[in-house]
């Protein structure tokens, strides 16, 4: 259904604009998560359900949790409790909640009408993706695993607390 | 089925990429810069998935999975760097870290 695509696209653009203009990092993260979820809806409508699930699980789930952890770590101190009080104000939750409610409505509509795809796109099954991924693209999978290992070691090395040696 | 253009999807990807680029250029907070990078990577992945959907092939989704892996690796290293910058300079302003006088 084309309308689902357009509504999700508008939600994505609005939430992205709000995300890059917020002053508070946590508010920006909320809008960014809504943006990623709406892109996931776009993926689903485009006939890519596997990638839509990955977008929700990995992007909106794992990567955004990393951001939240770091933002929370950086806010330690006296100002943290005051900031916490500000975040709990209901007004701050209204924007992301409304945008997310629109997306939930869309998902409910999609679930009740399973065969509605935008622009007549065909569903590309996860099985086909897996066969291609572990067939011709196998070298890419190996390289991705090497990249993740490098990122793991690098993040561990950079993130640990230096014990006075390289401290300025 | 193939007669319908996918202009709208590519347009959405372009708009999201431009928004991420704007955020990258405008913001001076390292966390916001990393978030803008995420938006841009996501928009690039969206373009791939739209193209894959246009041809009905799984390659676009595979490239998106690779982009996802790359984004995860990039953001983990980037956030570790953010922690280091905060420990050294006690601020998240990128201008404070311009020690190379570039």
Burial class (CB in 10 A: 0-12, 13-18, 19+), B85: middle
> Residue B29: helix, strand or coil by DSSP?
strand
pLDDT tens sequence across A93-115: 788 888 888 888 888 888 887 66
Average pLDDT over residues A134-153: 92
Q: How far is CA A137 from CA A50, B45, B50, B73, B88, in A?
A: 17, 17, 19, 19, 42
pLDDT of B72 over the 60 cut:
yes
B55 in contact with chain A, both atoms CB, cutoff 8 A: no
pLDDT score of A168: 44
Could you count the other beta carbons within 10 Å of the beta carbon of residue B96? 14
All residues of chain A having their beta carbon less than 8 Å from the beta carbon of residue B32 are 20, 25, 28
Q: Does A24 or A10 have the greater pLDDT score? A: A10
pLDDT tens sequence across A73-98: 876 555 656 666 666 666 777 888 88
Supply the mean pLDDT for chain A.
82
pLDDT tens sequence across B7-18: 888 899 999 999
Nearest to B44 by CA among A134, A4, A59: A59
pLDDT score of B2: 39
- Residues 47-106 in A contacting B (C-alpha not used; CB under 8 Å): 47-48, 50-51, 54-55, 58-59, 62-63, 66-67, 70-71, 73-74
Listed in sequence order, the residues at least 6 apart from A141 whose beta carbon sits closer than 8 Å to its beta carbon are A133, A134
Q: Where are the domains of chain A?
A: 2-123, 125-168
* Distance in angstroms (rounded) separating the CA atoms of residues B94 and A83: 23
Question: Residue A120 carries which DSSP code?
Answer: G
pLDDT score of A33: 92
pLDDT of A69 over the 80 cut:
yes
* Distance in angstroms (rounded) separating the CA atoms of residues A127 and A142: 19
pLDDT score of B82: 87
pLDDT score of A121: 66
A4–chain B nearest CA distance, Å: 12
pLDDT of B92 over the 50 cut:
yes
Q: How confident is the model at residue B86 (pLDDT cuts 50, 70, 90)?
A: confident
Read off the tokens for A41. 């809806």
A40 in contact with chain B, both atoms CB, cutoff 8 A: no
Give the architecture (CATH level 2) of A2-123.
Up-down Bundle (1.20)
pLDDT of A157 over the 50 cut:
yes
Q: Does A38 or A124 have the greater pLDDT score? A: A38
Question: Residue A42 is inside which H or E element, if any?
Answer: helix A25-45
Q: How confident is the model at residue B28 (pLDDT cuts 50, 70, 90)?
A: confident
pLDDT tens sequence across A24-43: 788 888 899 999 999 999 88
């Amino acid at each position: 259904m084309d309308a689902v695509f357009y509504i999700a696209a508008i939600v994505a653009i609005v939430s992205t604009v709000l995300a890059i203009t917020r002053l508070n990092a946590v508010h920006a993260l909320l809008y960014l998560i809504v943006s990623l979820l709406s892109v996931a809806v776009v993926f689903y409508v485009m006939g890519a359900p596997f990638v839509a699930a990955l977008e929700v699980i990995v992007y909106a789930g794992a990567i955004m949790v990393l951001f939240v952890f770091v933002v929370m770590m950086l806010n330690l101190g006296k100002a943290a409790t005051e900031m916490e009080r500000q975040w709990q104000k209901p007004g701050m939750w209204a924007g992301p909640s409304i945008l997310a409610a629109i997306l939930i409505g869309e998902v409910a509509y999609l679930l009740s009408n399973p065969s509605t795809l935008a622009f007549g796109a065909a569903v590309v099954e996860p099985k086909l993706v897996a066969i291609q991924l572990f067939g011709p693209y196998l070298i890419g999978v190996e390289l991705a695993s090497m990249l993740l290992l490098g990122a793991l070691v690098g993040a561990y090395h950079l993130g640990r607390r230096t014990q006075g040696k390289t401290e300025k | 089925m193939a007669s319908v253009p996918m202009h709208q999807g590519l347009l959405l990807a372009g708009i999201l990429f431009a928004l991420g680029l704007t955020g990258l250029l405008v913001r001076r907070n390292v966390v916001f810069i990393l978030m803008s990078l995420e938006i841009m990577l996501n928009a690039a992945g969206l373009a791939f998935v739209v193209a894959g959907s246009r041809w009905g092939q799984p390659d676009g989704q595979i490239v998106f999975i690779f982009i996802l892996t790359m984004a995860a690796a990039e953001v983990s290293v980037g956030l570790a760097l953010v922690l280091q910058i905060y420990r050294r300079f006690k601020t998240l302003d990128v201008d404070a870290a311009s020690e190379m006088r570039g």
